[in-house]
Amino acid sequence: MTKIGSILVCLSFFFAMTVQAATTVQSSVDRNEMAVGDSFTVTVSVNSTEDLDIQEPRVPNLGEFDLINNWSSTAVAQKLVQTSKGMQFETQRRKEFHFMLSPKQAGTLSVSSFEVVVDGKVYRTQPIIVKVGQVGSNKGSVKGRQQQPGGATPRMPHGFDDQMDDMDQAEEEIFNQLLQQRQRLLQQMQQQGAGGGGGGNYPPDNYGSAAASGMDHPAFRSLPTNPNEAFFISVEVDKTEAYEGEQVTVNWYIYTRGQMETLDRLKFPDLRGFWKEIIEEVPAIQFSEEIVNGVPWKKALLASHALFPIKAGTATIDEYKIKSRVRLPQQGWAYTGKPYEYTKSSARVPIKVKPLPLDGRPSDFSGAVGQFEIHASVENTTVPVNQPFSLKVRFEGAGNAKLIDLPPLNLPSGLEQYDSKSDAKFFKNGRSYKEFEVLVIPRQEGDVTLPALSVSMFDPATSKYYTRKTQPITLKVVNNPNAPVGSSQRLSDAGKPSAPTAAQSTNRLPDVIMAWQPSVQASVLYRPWLWAVIFLGVIAALLVKAQREFGWGRRQRTLKELVNKRYKIVDAAVSKGEVRKVGVEMTNIFYLVMGNVSGEGGASLKIEDLLEMIPPSLRREHGAEITKSFEVFQTMSFAPEEMLGSLKDPLTMKENVEKGKKVIAEMIGSVDKQA
């Protein structure tokens, strides 16, 4: 009996070892030496001969690394093996989980063990050691793929890996053959004088703008210093010290010596503390050649922005972050090496923002910073009484006219300001305009003069305030035959009783009729106080009905109720990790609130148009935050999957939602103040 028990124990152990050998879990990295800011990929592979329940790995604590992206892939292969029944096909399966990491610091760092549950059993990989050098050091040079087995389970036979490696080698050979053919063609074109000066791989830069060619004398410019770098993100700024509202121009470029096969913009600059105007954002980069410290680089413009500091202090132009898979040259300019992925960021540039001087600030200072001219005009100097006409006030010059508010008009008596709207545009050459169209209603006939407008502005070039004036405009207000009788008076006759006209005298009824007195029984109908009571009662009933129909007095409460109701949908989507739904719902909430703040509904307008319609104080204080938060949720809604990056992370998603709620609360608060 003891022998039988021992045999059963041995068989059970052998069966367990067989199952264990059929399933392996291991981890590997595509390289184990890099520089700070570069990226590398950790791959957790689960190999088996059966279709198993494989759960997502538990990611360990990544304190020394940033998790940039993650994805998974599945592969299936078959091979002939000898069995008791002869040669049969055996299916081998591989499930791979890829985690792209970026080291935060230099040194010898360890990627901790990943934990994977396969059919209810827990597997752990071994830690992986990587060496990280400083930016610009030789520690960032490319190394081959280093694999380290994970867990306590043995690796699978090499048959599966060999098949995958054979496919990779075949693909590499085909690529190299095509590349060699292309190089030969390019050399022939260069010999014939048709190769151009851009290195032969990219068309020349055809933007022709100042941003594409670079600034003549930038106050700050970062350039590549290590010729071994795969690529480099350069930033140049025309000034590092500016007044509030003064334009600061910034350009971002990418430099590379390799062949870029992919380019993902992981992080656009947040630009907190600035009002941003886009000069250029290229949809597809175009390379030209530039020599830096005797080394040839290929250079392309990424973006050019005009920035206007919002308040005094220090405002920082934050980093532009790019991820790219680059194939580096191996011999001369032959791109035959294996491509690797890198992540690079531009330098952060602090801008010292000086406050506008208080000494000598005129009382009519409108907030305009730059060199502007002001003009006022009307379409016709002869206008009918009680009919609106348009008064246009236009600011135009160098600077951001969008920040200018409408100055007080100081209209004379007899003219009534009815409504106003504005239109503004910023041009790539740094000039802009803002035009206000004011509807004015003349209430009395006669001659009237629109007084000259006097507006003071600040010139950052001279650090002084200056004043611009418009010309006064004389109007002739004439009788309007379509206006109600008695609705207007002549300006010269104001305050005098008007005599009856000839038509009125002709149409007068005989005095005997005018002296007719109602009977005693009907006299109650002609009592003024009775009609006043009836009239007030009708008005009160109409007001009650209007309040019920249009919700007067409930605008703020109704808006909060609608927003809070939608927040419940957003919070539920965040808890489920539904990034698209979160983006769409938050985008709709922004349109809803901004439509209410502007009074325009908002559904059919662009966010830039709605920003122009909200109160100027709200736009100045929170315009940049509104734009940034809205762009984040638009990206979550519609951007390609590969561009979402960390936006899909639950913690990042929750953080962005909380920031969005804070901005929305400020806008709702402005509705309350208006009420």
Show which of 319, 354, 389 is a domain's final residue: 354
Domain assignment present for residue 237? The answer is: yes
Provide the pairing of β-strand 33-35 with 128-133.
parallel
In a shared domain, residues 156 and 9? yes
pLDDT at 597 > cutoff 90: no
CATH code, domain carrying 215: 2.60.40
Residues 348 and 377 grouped into a single domain: no
**Shared domain check, 373 and 343:** no
Same domain, 340 and 403: no
Report if residue 321 sits inside a domain: yes
**C-alpha–C-alpha distance, residues 8 and 323, integer Å:** 57
Question: 322 with 399, same domain?
Answer: no
**pLDDT exceeds cutoff 90 at 317:** yes
Q: In the listed set 138, 168, 198, which residue is the last one of a domain according to the structure?
A: 168
pLDDT exceeds cutoff 90 at 394: yes
Q: Are residues 59 and 133 in the same domain?
A: yes
Q: Which domain holds residue 241?
A: 210-354
In tens, the pLDDT along 97-136 reads 988 888 888 889 989 899 999 988 889 998 999 998 876 5
**Long-range pairs for 481-490 at CB < 8 Å and ≥24 separation?**
482/384, 482/387, 483/384, 483/385, 483/386, 483/387, 487/385, 487/386, 488/385, 488/386, 488/443, 488/444, 488/445, 489/444, 489/445, 490/444, 490/445, 490/446
Same structural domain, 339 and 369 = no
pLDDT band per the 50, 70, 90 thresholds, residue 605: low
- 531 inside domain: no
User: Do 434 and 456 reside in the same domain of the chain?
Assistant: yes
The pLDDT value recorded for residue 374 is 92
**472 token code pair:** 């006064």
Q: What is the pLDDT of residue 143?
A: 42
CA dist 219 and 236 (Å) reads 8
| 135 and 7 housed in the same domain | yes
pTM comes to 0.46
- For residues 377 and 295, membership in a common domain is answered with no
For residue 564, give the CATH number of its domain. Answer: 1.20.120
Indicate whether 182 belongs to any domain.
Answer: no
Asked which of 492, 510, 540 is the last residue of a domain, the reply is 492
Tell me whether residue 529 is in a domain. Answer: no
Domain annotation covers residue 204: no
Confidence of residue 195 (pLDDT cuts 50, 70, 90): very low
pLDDT in tens, 484-533: 444 444 444 444 444 444 444 444 433 333 334 444 444 444 456 666 77
Mean pLDDT of 453-475: 91
Does any domain span residue 79? yes
- Report the distance separating Cα 67 and Cα 324, nearest Å: 16
Q: Quote the pLDDT of residue 557.
A: 55
Mean residue pLDDT of the chain comes to 75
- Most confident range (mean pLDDT) of 180-184, 464-468, 599-603 is 464-468
The CATH number of the domain holding residue 461 is: 2.60.40.10
Residues 26 and 110 in one domain: yes
- Report yes or no on 144 lying in a domain: yes
The confidence score (pLDDT) of residue 672 equals 61
On whether the CB atoms of residues 637 and 585 are closer than 8 A, the answer is: no
Which of 90-94, 583-587, 603-607 is predicted with the least confidence, judged by mean pLDDT?
603-607
pLDDT in tens, 341-393: 888 889 999 999 999 998 888 988 877 899 999 999 998 889 998 888 999 99
Distance CA 604, CA 461 (A): 41
Count how many domains the chain has.
4
Cα–Cα separations (whole angstroms), residue 529 to 495, 525, 599: 28, 10, 40
479, 578: one domain:
no
